[in-house]
Amino acid sequence: MEYRFDDKHSFMEKLEEVFKSGVKPNDVKMVLPHPDHDIEHLVEEYTPASKLKFFTLAGGLTGCFTGFAFPSFTVLDWPLITGGKPLLSWPAWVVIAFELTILLGALASFTGMLFLSKLPRFSKMLSPDEYGNQYVLITDE
């Protein structure tokens, strides 16, 4: 069903009514004449929490584990005994583990963002419909 409005207030009332009836924000298509923060905040209220944090956590934990595992395996494979220091000197690898945690966490976040938002979808970027200065709400009711 397609609803067209000339003013933002009536559009927001209908949008809230649609969300309260149980329609998810992903099932609604909105065409706006310009970006609007009030509408964005209304949609955020009915949007479930993102799963992106799990991608970031997995990437960060992988980076931290890798930051300690690579130097450990390297030292055990090519032992170089100098000055009576222990082979597995963990404090020296904290910097490596920290940097890899940040790097892999950021890369996993970026990959997760692309995956969860189903990007790139080039066919959905341009709308062939032209609505002018109207607020349009399209649902599958």
Q: What is the pLDDT of residues 85-137, one digit of tens each?
A: 888 988 989 999 999 999 999 999 999 999 998 887 766 655 667 788 899 99
Eight-state DSSP code of residue 46:
T
pTM of the predicted protein model? 0.72
Give residue 106's pLDDT: 98
Tens digits of per-residue pLDDT, 49-85?
999 999 999 999 999 999 999 999 999 999 888 888 8
Give residue 127's pLDDT: 60
Tens digits of per-residue pLDDT, 14-55?
999 999 999 999 899 898 888 899 999 999 999 999 999 999
Report the distance separating Cα 32 and Cα 132, nearest Å.
Answer: 9
Report the distance separating Cα 69 and Cα 77, nearest Å.
Answer: 12
Q: Structure tokens of 85?
A: 């220091």
